[in-house]
Amino acid sequence: MHCGHDPRYRQRLLLQRPAFHNSSRGFLTTPCRQGEDQGQSIREAGSSSQDAERESSGQSSPNTTPSNAQGDHPSDPSLSGAVRSIMRNVAHPAVVITAGFAQAMTVSSFNTITLDPPMVSFNVRKPSRTLDAIKSDNGRFRVHILKATPDGARIADIFSRGNAEAGFNLIGKRTLMRFDTEYGSKAPRINLPCIFAALDCQLVQDMDVKDHVVAIANVNGVISKYTEGSTLMYVQGNFIKGGEKHETVQQSDIPPEHMFYTFPVFPGDKERHLLKERLECYVKARPGLFNMDLTDAAHLVQHVFGMPPGAFGISTEHIIAQAAIEAGHQPAIEPHELGMSAMYQFHGVLSPRESAVIVDRTKKFVRKDPTFLALPYSQFLQLLGIGRSTFGLLARDILDPLRKEGLVSPFPPIPLSFTPMNEKVNTLEHMERVEHIIQEYLRETSISRTQVMNAWELAEAAGVPWARRYVARNQTRLRVDAIPDLYDASSFDISGEVTLEESRVVVRRIMSYLLKRPFRKDDIRRRLVTPQWEILRSCNVHPMISGCDIDYFLGKLRWYFFKETWIRWKEEIAAIQTNWLEINPTHGQTVARINDFVDRHPRHAVEWSVSDILAAIGVYHVQLNTGTSVNDLIKEALWRKYLGGTQSGDKSVAEFMARGRKSR
């Protein structure tokens, strides 16, 4: 059963953006970055990784000497090295273990203990996010036994890097992640031809052995399309089939500071062009990409950089195609894409001005050629300069203005035979019908049920599963329009196109939401997987604000959470809080900033908390002169601006001036 019909799977994969690469002409791997699950997974595929065999050997503690049987003293380094050297030559099965909360890892210590009843075991190095997720789901997890094929090796490599979220993002497009409910597991099942079998397992015992945990589990069920065949093995730092090494194209990791989510909290045009330059340099240095399917190569590059498809309005496919053409190759690219820029004009949540430009541009195209609206939706967006990372632009936003000028026929009723297949063959008017279907479903279904559905579940429940990518891009807007009572802009104190000051406050409120008590790891995880529109609504911020890339900011927080250790994540959060705001400006600087803020945003000055106001003026912490508070400075600025309140035309400000500033 698919998870869209079961509320137990409401919070599953984070940032589920579809992407996967599988090429019959070979595959690329990269040395693995170390994450919290380092060690229990195979950390380097296709290159020497001496540390990896310590976990891959099937031995729980290979560095224990006879004289150190009780573990009271350090082991003999020479003996540990000798055992490691020997075990590197012993082949072990390479499997992928998935757990709830979008966790997964590749391990090579998997084995059977008994067959009647069937029980299995594996080893993990502490700490392990995946083991934590298994325990959080009542011990349930899935083991994916891989076929001995290049695709199988690629899947093993993807989940050996300590970043399960990126792995799920990478394989999402080419396969549906299945969530079978028979055994009640939240662990996703990877539904690919290179999966030889998937085992539903239940943890029954785990015991600490030095820096490892030995996990023992019952096998509750088996799903397999095959009865015989070779499965993937791992030996001497390589994935193999019966001793035969799969060919790989080696590549070095990009510098850590080049990863997508290492940009500042508020990335702008400077960061956008910098990312494009980094992608171009990376692609040109790796001609092996030109022999791959263009889409597959793009997904691989995006995976290496840890970036979602279309990030910052940049087309990775165009960058690779252009580099391939310059190198004398002929990439499979559509004729209309030749000569197009790799950077789209429109991306992210659009402002009203940008939406108006798109409408005017569409009108010009339609007046010149009425068949323009008959183009496939994806091509229609490209010709208008709209990137795939554009959110909240509905088809009716474009079609309604055209109807007012008689350029488009009235919106038709939805025929019962409306069963289009995908965005590549359907038009803008088809997408308008999808919007109608989704919003009708949202209006007719209880909020308590729809609010916990992700885009894939929502599209399937509404009967348009083929449009899930379109729904994913626009689900916040669809929800806002379908439930106006819940998302009335007048009920939020931050809405529309936000100012720099407002964007700072949005970030502060999100941080406060995430870091509120209780401040345990599982609590933070649950808040991070909360849908973006709900996070913003909880922060009294309208979900459709523009001018502030909340998608990037939340992605940054999630990326660090699932990439780093718990301690390291808290350090990164502290760094974010202090790096984008100033600490302890002088008294005079603080007074000047508050005066400027009050002059431009008097209503916010009387309605926002002191913490919000400090964030708005770019200050994390301030020390004022003795006897002076931020409240005093704001009150003085307001009195100066309005001469004691006589010139204030704002009701909130006038009431504040009449009664004096409340404590906040």
pLDDT of 239: 74
Tokens 């589990």 -> residue: 217
How confident is residue 664, by pLDDT bands cut at 50, 70 and 90? very low
Closest CA to 217 of 147, 142, 127: 142
Length of the chain: 664
Checking if the pLDDT of 95 tops 90, the result is: yes
pLDDT of 32: 38
Burial class (CB in 10 A: 0-12, 13-18, 19+), 328: exposed
Neighbouring residues of 255: CB distance < 8 A, sequence distance ≥ 6:
none
Checking if the pLDDT of 482 tops 50, the result is: yes
How confident is residue 75, by pLDDT bands cut at 50, 70 and 90? low
User: Looking at the chain, which residues constitute the CATH 2.30.110.10 domain(s)?
Assistant: 3-67+74-250
List beta partners, residue 244.
241
pLDDT of 422: 52
Please check whether residue 77 is in contact with residue 85, taking contact to mean a CB–CB distance below 8 angstroms: no
Backbone phi, then psi, for 97, in 5-degree steps? Answer: -105, 125
Tens digit of each residue's pLDDT (9 = 90 or more) over 206-224: 999 988 999 999 999 888 8
Helix axes 566-579, 550-563, angle to 10 degrees: 150
Report whether the peptide linkage leading into residue 127 is cis, meaning its omega lies within 30 degrees of zero.
Answer: yes
List beta partners, residue 104.
98
* Residue 151 or residue 476, greater confidence: 476
Burial class (CB in 10 A: 0-12, 13-18, 19+), 647: exposed
Handedness of CA 161, 166, 172, 177 (dihedral sign): positive
Tens digit of each residue's pLDDT (9 = 90 or more) over 503-551: 999 999 999 999 998 888 889 988 998 999 999 999 999 999 999 999 9
Checking if the pLDDT of 426 tops 70, the result is: yes
Q: How far apart are CA 240 and CA 91, in angstroms?
A: 9
* Distinct helix (H) and strand (E) counts, the chain: 25, 19
Report whether the peptide linkage leading into residue 267 is cis, meaning its omega lies within 30 degrees of zero.
Answer: no
Q: Tell me the mean pLDDT in the region 304-323.
A: 92
What is the percentage of the chain residues whose pLDDT exceeds 70? 79
Q: How far apart are CA 84 and CA 555, in angstroms?
A: 38
pLDDT of 496: 94
Neighbouring residues of 223: CB distance < 8 A, sequence distance ≥ 6:
180, 189, 197, 198, 200
Task: Give the Cα-Cα-Cα angle 41, 135, 203 (nearest 5 degrees).
Answer: 80
How confident is residue 238, by pLDDT bands cut at 50, 70 and 90? confident
Closest CA to 211 of 368, 39, 329: 39
- Choice among 44-58, 142-156, 280-294 with the minimum mean pLDDT: 44-58
Neighbouring residues of 242: CB distance < 8 A, sequence distance ≥ 6:
148, 230, 233
Handedness of CA 274, 280, 285, 291 (dihedral sign): positive
Amino acid occupying residue 218: N
DSSP for 307-359 reads --TTGGGB-HHHHHHHHHHHTT------GGGTT--SB-SEEEEPPHHHHHHHH
pLDDT of 354: 95
How confident is residue 647, by pLDDT bands cut at 50, 70 and 90? low
Checking if the pLDDT of 487 tops 70, the result is: yes
4 token code pair: 């869209």
Of 91-95, 261-265, 336-340, 363-367, which one has max mean pLDDT? 363-367
Tens digit of each residue's pLDDT (9 = 90 or more) over 368-412: 999 999 999 989 999 999 998 899 899 999 999 999 999 998 987
* Residue 248 or residue 263, greater confidence: 263
Please check whether residue 545 is in contact with residue 391, taking contact to mean a CB–CB distance below 8 angstroms: no
C-alpha distances (whole Å) from 52 to each of 57, 82, 559, 637 are 9, 15, 23, 62
Q: pTM for the complete prediction?
A: 0.66
pLDDT of 111: 93
Tens digit of each residue's pLDDT (9 = 90 or more) over 19-55: 323 333 333 343 333 333 433 445 333 332 333 333 3
* Residue 609 or residue 584, greater confidence: 609
Backbone phi, then psi, for 399, in 5-degree steps? Answer: -75, -35
Report whether the peptide linkage leading into residue 117 is cis, meaning its omega lies within 30 degrees of zero.
Answer: yes
pLDDT of 424: 56
How confident is residue 242, by pLDDT bands cut at 50, 70 and 90? low
Instruction: Assign 540 to helix, strand or coil.
Output: coil
Handedness of CA 29, 35, 41, 44 (dihedral sign): positive
Three-state SS string across 192-255, please? CCCEEEEEEEEEEEEEEECCEEEEEEEEEEEECCCCCCCECEEECCEEEECCEECCEEECCCCC
Checking if the pLDDT of 423 tops 80, the result is: no
Tokens 């869209």 -> residue: 4
- Domain 3-67+74-250 sits in CATH at 2.30.110.10
How confident is residue 630, by pLDDT bands cut at 50, 70 and 90? confident
- Choice among 170-179, 334-343, 414-423, 424-433 with the minimum mean pLDDT: 414-423
pLDDT of 175: 52
pLDDT of 612: 95
How confident is residue 649, by pLDDT bands cut at 50, 70 and 90? low
C-alpha distances (whole Å) from 522 to each of 100, 103, 136, 217, 529 are 12, 13, 9, 23, 11
Tokens 């093995």 -> residue: 233
Q: How far apart are CA 158 and CA 144, in angstroms?
A: 13
Handedness of CA 330, 332, 336, 342 (dihedral sign): negative
What is the percentage of the chain residues whose pLDDT exceeds 90? 41
Average pLDDT of the residues of the chain: 80
